[in-house]
Amino acid sequence: MKFFWLWLTGSGEGAAQQQKGSFYLISAERHLGMTEFVTEINYDKLIEKALKQVVVEALKIAEAQGLPGENHFYITFKTNFPGTSVPSDLQIQYPENMTIVLQHQYANLRVGTDSFSVELSFGGRPQTLVIPYDAITYFADPYAKFGLSFSFYENGDVHSLDEIEPEKKVAGETAQIISFDSFRKKK
C-alpha cells in the first residue's frame, strides 16, 4: 500500500476541525481511489470510462422520469461478465452477448454505482436482469441517431467488437456510432 504526506493549511471546508499546519499520513489507495501504481496513462480506457458515464446519465434520466418522447435504448452486453445476472433460460439462449431494448415495456429500472437492473418481459414472464456497466459493449438511441461501441478489456487486453452488433435494427434509421479504433495507436 502506498502512502503520502498531506500538509493541511487550515483553509477550505472542515478547516475548523483540522489543526492548521499539520502533516497527516494518508493512504493513496483510500483517498485517491488508486489500487496500483500507474506506469503509463491508458487514454483509451479513460475515454471509455468517461463515455460509459454518458450511458449511466441516460439511464438515470430514464429511471427518474421514463424515456422522453420517442427515445429508446439498445444495450448489448456480455452475459458471461462477472456480476451480470441473467435468468438461466436466457443465459442458455444467449451464452455470450445479448441485446435488450428499453422502450415501452420495462419496469423497475434501478441505476446503481457499478451496474443497473431492469425488469423486462420474456415470453410473457417478467424477469430481472442486472448488468454491470463494464459488461456493456454497445449502447444506442436510434431515435437520437446516437450510439457508442465499447472495447472489451479482459486481463488488460483489448478485444475486437467486430462480431458484436445489436441484434435488432430500426428500418431506415442509422445511428451515429463512435468507434475508438480510429484513435488507437497503430502498432
Record the pTM: 0.64
Q: Which residues contact 58 (CB under 8 A, 6 or more apart)?
A: 73, 139, 141
Looking at the predicted structure, is the pLDDT value of residue 93 above 60? yes
Structure letter (DSSP) for residue 89: H
pLDDT in tens, 23-59: 555 444 444 555 678 888 988 888 888 999 999 999 9
DSSP 90-113: HHHH-SSEEEEEESSSEEEEEE-S
pLDDT in tens, 113-155: 999 999 998 888 899 999 999 999 999 999 999 999 987 655 4
151: cell is 472495447
Q: How far apart are CA 63 and CA 118, in angstroms?
A: 10
Q: Which domains does the chain have, with CATH numbers?
A: 3-32 (no CATH), 43-183 (2.30.30.220)
pLDDT in tens, 149-173: 987 655 444 444 444 444 444 444 4
Residue in the structure block whose three cell numbers are 429511471: 63
Q: Is 10 helix (H, G, I), strand (E, B) or coil?
A: coil
Q: How far apart are CA 100 and CA 58, in angstroms?
A: 15
Are 166 and 98 contacting, i.e. CB atoms less than 8 angstroms apart? Answer: no
Terminal C-alpha separation, the chain: 34
- The predicted structure's pLDDT at residue 159: 46
